[in-house]
Amino acid sequence: MIAPPALPGLDPAWSHHITVAGRGTFHALERPAMGAPEITVLAVHGNPTWSYLWRRLLAQAPATWRVIAVDHLGMGYSERTDGVRRLAVRIDDLDALTEALAVSGPVVIVAHDWGGPISLGWALRHRDSLRGIVLTNTAVHQPPRAPAPTLIRFARWRPVLRALTERTPGFVRGATFLSRNMPADVIAAYRAPYRGVAARRAIGDFVADIPLEPDHPSAATLDAIADELCSLADVPVFLAWGSDDPVFSDRYLRDLVTRMPHADVHRYEKARHLVTEDAPACIPDIIEWIGHLAEPTRTTTSPPAPIDSMDARLLGRATDTSVAIADMRSGLRVNWSVLAARTSEIAEGLSDLGVAPGDRVAMLVPPGPDLVAAVYATWRIGAVVVVADSGLGVRGMRRALRSAEAQHVIGIPAGLGLARTLGLPGRRILVGRTGPATRILAADATLSEVARRGRAAAVSTGAAPAADDDALVVFTSGATGPAKGVVYTHRRLWALRDALRDAYDIRHDGETPDALVAAFAPWAVLGPALGIASAIPDMEITDASSLTAETTAAAAAAVGGTLMWTSPTALRAIVATADHLTGSSRADLEHLRLVLAAGAPVPPELLDAAAHLMPRAQFATPYGMTEALPLTEVTIEELREARGLGVLVGRPLPGVDVGIAPLARDAEPSADLVTTPEVTGEIVVRSAWIRDRYDRRWATQRRADSPEGWHRTGDVGHLDGQGRLWIEGRLAHILVTPGGPVTPVAAELVAQRCADTTLAALVGVGPLGVQVPVIVLLAPGPSLGLANVDLTRRVRAAVRDATGLEIAAVLTMRALPVDVRHRSKIDRTRIAREASKFLSGQGDDD
């Protein structure tokens, strides 16, 4: 038998052949354990790959594991046998091979593609030795009312089947083309065993054996495997999934989760069919997951929760005819009585339509009365609100909705159109008037029709959701990578509501109740939970810079606003347009007692300018993120006097603990936490209102939840001698220079002041460990170019004097890329790529 040639990442010592009587000679890659194996990992490939798929698993697994990656007969470097080997025979083959290899428990199977059903068939026969199951982009069942993947149907079409899979290397080449940016030598390695027609016959047999018809010879075998998966409820399962696979899409992941609801799931955004190639973290995550099986099971018992609900104060004001929500964009004002009744009607109507407790309901509705009523109605019936806001951009919203697996959608026409293109299941409810859009978008009803149905329904919404039931899936901004789904339970939302109320003394009753101006519009949803009125200014929801001082004042006047929640960009827009205010409008702004500006650091100069406009207001810049907010608070006086490396965000709020995970020379944060002053590291926090978990991101959650019960923020900073927190940047944006890690924010602030600009980015050019610092300034002129000599000299000197850092180059950029939601979080990773290209001569001034 032929052994594999020298191939990248493949140790020749792993390769050997095993002859099994009555079957043939198998090729396998095996990395034996040192001593008796703690665990045996049995890795099974699909079609048309081979055991090379698992080379990194063999290379990176702990030395105490035995790792075996097999080639099916007719595939890879195994013997080419006669006859067609159907699914049942393939399972028998694997059974015979593991017997010949003396495989014994505990065993974890790891499988991809066709390897999934084959290895699961083996697992069902070996329950006593089975320790865990890892599946990557595979399937055991064709979901009903869903066509098989187009690529599979085409490849299986009789006129092209043998031509595509055997007589030409088209199917083999297509498999590697499905990957993103696979190196040429790795592509060649995957194709190496399949260079001739005879070598490819089993590829065609595998395709022909896909049982799409109920009378197919392998249909009964596959159905039996699918039906028996529920019997593996006591076996840990990890589903590592490429999100952009055109073959095994999320509908197959959904099917597997339905059959094995206890499975841990991690979706790798932008990875395709060969997820282990497209997602560098996939193999390390699989190894970590297998390793965690030996850890003691975590048992966390939540304290008993008082009877509570997010709509308690809304119900308490059900007879109040004062304004609850004023939407200044539409001119619509809704009082508390109408809002409470509308919420109850929608809740009953949703239940009558079949929306059940635990169902996920995507809200594709702009902030306003309809969104607020739909959100609180969904919570009341125990369903889960999914918010994929327009601040993610259309592409980000598409990814978020696919990731969250919403079962129903409530949306405006554009939202329902997006849901239809994604093939989201369940009810589709249109917000707006009925008409052609209802038919075109296949809407089941309008929100008004749901409310009318609720008024007539005899059903009751049933028991209130439990404290630890899921309540909300909301997404991070995506400023440092694909947006991540963040899950909050009811208990954690109650804690968030109470934390805001207590930290800012928010009053919902008495002679002077508070009212909210939601200049960051999504926060209007929290108004009813706090029992306070809210107003949404007339602005473009996705463009905070469209806000003006006049429209803000009008919103404040509509509800008697005393509080304002805003972003730095929106606050800057208010200050910039203050000259156009009339006397009465100025008085409305002067009535504000508290302004909360969050989402990014707020320069003291901006706060000073805003303070002239709103002299009664206390200004707070709470630090936090989608996963936890608010965490700390700082006064404007402290900001004026702040002198240090980074941005001062203040002291932890009551109920918040902050620790620092010190950085090593390679910028890796420690597992241990310290509170020692002036030690830079990753910021780690704990409170009752941090997120419950990341949604279908097992590996992300495991890294973030360390120590248990804490949240690793991904931000870096330090505590000062007064216990105040300073932010120095994002962990993903740290430069790793010959002198060690360098955080970006301190140098950026100095460069901004020196160049009199609003944005600056410090990025690293070159490989990690030897990166050189480059400053990129927002400035008119070319899209990217060198700063003039005088500006370069001044910025380099200012940064050197303030931080000791030597800047290698100063560039200017016409528009620095920022996140869509806040318009203030700089995409330093993208800027670093552009700067590297420019400085290497691949870009030109324009």
Mean pLDDT of 70-85: 96
Check pLDDT > 90 for residue 460. Answer: no
Is residue 571 within 8 Å of residue 601, measured between CB atoms?
no
Looking at the chain, the whole-number percentage of residues with pLDDT higher than 70 is 96
pLDDT at residue 2, as a whole number? 87
605 pLDDT band, cuts 50/70/90, is confident
List all residues 6 or more positions away from 290 whose beta carbon is below 8 Å from its beta carbon: 39, 41, 65, 108, 132, 134, 238
How far from each other are the two terminal CA atoms of the chain, in whole angstroms?
Answer: 60
Q: DSSP string of 466-507?
A: PTTSEEEEEE---TTSS--EEEEEHHHHHHHHHHHHHHTT--
Is the peptide bond prior to 654 cis by the omega test (within 30 degrees of 0)?
A: no
Is it the case that residue 298 has pLDDT exceeding 80? Answer: no
Q: Write down the CATH number for the domain with range 647-730.
A: 2.30.38.10
Q: On the CB side of 162, how many CA atoms lie within 13 Å of its CA?
A: 5
For residue 800, the tally of other CB atoms under 10 A from its CB is: 14
678-700 average pLDDT score: 97
pLDDT at residue 440, as a whole number? 75
Residue 529 is given by DSSP the state H
Residue 285 confidence (pLDDT) above 70: yes
Q: What is the pLDDT of residue 439?
A: 67
241 close to 265: Cβ distance less than 8 angstroms: yes
Helix %, strand %, coil % for the chain, to 5?
40, 20, 40
Number of C-beta neighbours around residue 584 at 10 A:
9
| DSSP H or E stretch at residue 533 | strand 533-536
Q: What is the pLDDT of residues 201-230, one digit of tens each?
A: 999 999 999 999 999 999 999 999 999 999
Task: Give per-residue pLDDT as tens, 393-426.
Answer: 778 888 888 889 899 999 999 888 888 888 777 8
CATH fold of 504-621 reads: Rossmann fold (3.40.50)
Tell whether the model's pLDDT for residue 610 goes beyond 70. yes
Q: Which H helix or E strand runs over 836?
A: helix 828-839
Percent share of the chain, pLDDT over 90: 78
> Residue 846 in 3-state DSSP?
coil
- Greater pLDDT, 657 or 511: 657
Contact call for residues 700 and 266 (beta carbons, < 8 A): yes
Query: Residues 518-561: pLDDT tens digits?
Result: 998 788 899 999 999 999 999 988 788 899 999 999 999 999 99
Whole-number Cα distances in Å, 90 to 119, 190, 205, 543: 9, 21, 12, 57
Is a pLDDT exceeding 80 seen at residue 150? yes
634 SS3 class: coil
Which residue, among 112, 527, 39, has the nearest Cα to 289 in the 3D structure? Answer: 39
* Rounded CA separation 473/383 (Å): 11
Which of the four CATH numbers 3.20.20.450, 3.40.50.9100, 3.40.640.10, 3.30.300.30 does domain 734-839 have?
A: 3.30.300.30
Domain ranges in the chain? 12-144+217-292, 308-465, 504-621, 647-730, 734-839
Rounded to 5 degrees, what are φ and ψ at 735? -85, 140
Q: Assess contact for 404 and 385: CB atoms under 8 A.
A: no
Q: Which residue has the higher pLDDT, 580 or 12?
A: 12
Question: Comparing C-alpha atoms, which of 576, 565, 348, 556 is closest to residue 453?
Answer: 348
Residue range 735-768, pLDDT digits in tens: 999 999 999 999 999 999 999 998 899 999 999 9
User: Which residues make beta-bridge pairs with 564?
Assistant: 517, 595
172 pLDDT above the threshold of 70: yes
Are the folds of 12-144+217-292 and 308-465 the same?
yes
CA torsion angle for 666, 670, 673, 678 (degrees, to 10)? Answer: -10
Tell me what pLDDT residue 636 has: 85
Six-digit token string for 648: 């001062």
Q: How many CB atoms lie within 10 A of CB 689?
A: 23
Q: Give the chain's mean pLDDT.
A: 92
**What span, in angstroms and rounded, lies between the C-alpha atoms of 1 and 7?**
17
Q: Are 527 and 517 in contact (CB under 8 A)?
A: no
Cα three-residue angle 420-425-429, rounded to 5 degrees:
70
> Which phi-psi region, left, alpha or beta, contains residue 331 (left: φ > 0; alpha: ψ -120 to 50)?
left
Rounded-to-integer distance, Cα 734 and Cα 592, Å? 39
- The whole-angstrom separation of Cα 566 and Cα 570 is 6
Confidence (pLDDT) at 151: 86
Say how far apart CA 512 and CA 492 lie, in whole Å.
28
Give me the half-sphere count of Cα atoms (radius 13 Å) on the Cβ side of residue 540: 12
Contact 406, 362 (CB under 8 A): yes
Query: What is the per-residue pLDDT for 178?
Result: 84
C-alpha–C-alpha distance, residues 354 and 727, integer Å: 47
- pLDDT score of 300: 60
Q: What's the rounded Cα separation, in Å, for the pair 377 and 19?
A: 64
- 837: number of Cβ within 10 Å: 13
CATH class of 308-465: alpha beta
Q: Are 186 and 177 in contact (CB under 8 A)?
A: no
Do residues 531 and 472 lie in contact, with contact meaning Cβ atoms separated by under 8 Å? no
Q: What is the CATH number of domain 12-144+217-292?
A: 3.40.50.1820
